[in-house]
Amino acid sequence: MSVFIALLPAYVLSIFYRSFLSVIAGPVMADLDIGPAAFGLLGAAWFVAFAAAQFVVGWSLDRVGPRRTVAVAMTIGSAGAFLFAQAGGGVSAGLAMVLIGLGCSPVFMSSLFLFARLSSPARFGLLTSLFIALGSLGNVVGAAPLAIAAQHYGWRGAMTAMAACFLAATVLAVALVRDPPRTASSAPDEGLLQGLASILKLRPLWLLAPLTLFGYAIVATVRGLWIGPYMTQVHGYDAVSAGHAATVMAIAMILGAFVYGWLESRTGRAKAIVFWGTLLTALGFVLLALFGQDAPLVAIALFSLVGAAGFTYAILIAHARQFFPEHLIGRGMTCANFLFIAGAAAVQSASGWFIAAERMAGLGPSETFARLHWIFAALLLISAAIYASAPVRPKA
């Protein structure tokens, strides 16, 4: 419970900052004078910084502990949050997103590190799912509430308020996070690169890698960047109505995380849950490509299906966790998280360039987004096919 009190507010903000841009896309692009490609890069900047920091975060958790790791990073993130609210152009906004990404980078991994050290392996998947589900309230805050706040106070006023929340969460985390007792181990004391090399030698993780790279990334990209523009450009919604649509998807993601955590705790079948959830997510994208433009409620229902079915993040981490030796828990989980976040950075950036290119080719929003959704479905199906060959658990 202490981990939830100390780090959950920070994780709510971490989820907020990876998903808020879609709701205020119009005013941000207009105010900063940027187009879809630059907007995609703006969203990717957070993920690039977050992903790049994961290797140092993993080493720091194993060698320094979560308390100092979180304190230093979140102080940097607080500065970035205030900078974003005052950004005068794409470059300064991008720099701010980099700083925020660095600030958020150790929050989730510190929580998982503490769960792994302080609770039994059987409870790891459930605790992780609960933490992700509750943290996903950041998706809700970054949807309709943000759209309404931006409408009344401007996007800069709304983001200044969120920066103040980031600073408060930093103070709370620094005050309450405690390092777990160190455990005696006969394992070698590996440095940053040695530990990474040991993790890369774990062959089962290579079969998890494609789905780790694309599964979360695609869902995060849809919720974080494109559901808002889709509803405004394809169905004529205004910003607040599009924010409500994003809220529905965010709630579906929370419910999905709760259901997946319950299923994993009851059955222990992490791999099966992730595999079938991924196939259902791919089906959601196929249906979006075929029928999403027909009616707004159909589109919202299908986005909700994608959000609920595709949020297998926690269960995939629980599956990967089984293959990490105890002395490399921090580095192992942050290596997996690197793939989650690096994938999101790549997909967000590439999707922005793709939409910009389709527009230059003269395609309308409906056809452009349909093509994007076909690509997402294909990536998920290929990743799931590779994942099917992964072992359920380590060999005894």
Percent of the chain with pLDDT over 70: 94
65-103: pLDDT as tens digits: 899 999 999 999 999 999 999 999 999 999 999 999 999
- How many Cα atoms occupy the beta-carbon half-sphere of 314 within 13 Å? 34
Q: Are 236 and 291 in contact (CB under 8 A)?
A: no
Q: Would you give the DSSP letter of residue 187? A: S
Position 64 scores a pLDDT of: 87
Mean local confidence (pLDDT), 123-150: 85
Residue 264 pLDDT: 86
pLDDT-based confidence at residue 140 (cuts at 50, 70, 90): confident
The pLDDT of residue 185: 52
pLDDT tens profile 329-384? 767 777 887 888 888 888 988 998 999 899 899 999 999 999 999 999 999 999 99
DSSP secondary structure letters along 90-139? HHHHHHHHHHHHHHHTTHHHHHHHHHHHHS-HHHHHHHHHHHHHHHTHHH
The pLDDT tens digits of the residues spanning 157-186 come to 999 999 999 999 999 999 999 888 766 554
Lowest mean pLDDT among 209-213, 223-227, 308-312: 223-227
Q: What is the pLDDT of residues 320-331, one digit of tens each?
A: 888 877 767 767
The mean pLDDT value for 101-129 works out to 84
CA distance 330 to 242: 38
pLDDT of res. 186: 45
* pLDDT for 193 beyond 80: no
Backbone phi, psi, residue 322, to 5°:
-65, -25
Q: What would the mean pLDDT of 218-225 be, rounded to a whole number?
A: 89
Structure confidence by residue, pLDDT tens digits, 15-68 = 999 889 888 988 999 999 998 888 888 888 998 898 888 888 888 887 888 999
Computed over every residue of the chain, the mean pLDDT equals: 88
Pick from 27, 46, 29, 25: nearest CA to 228: 25
pLDDT value, residue 25:
86
pLDDT of residue 128 exceeding 90, the answer is no
Give pTM, 2 decimals: 0.76
Taking CA atoms, 365 is separated from 53, 71, 122, 362, in Å, by 35, 43, 46, 10
Which pLDDT band, with edges at 50, 70 and 90, does 396 fall under?
A: low
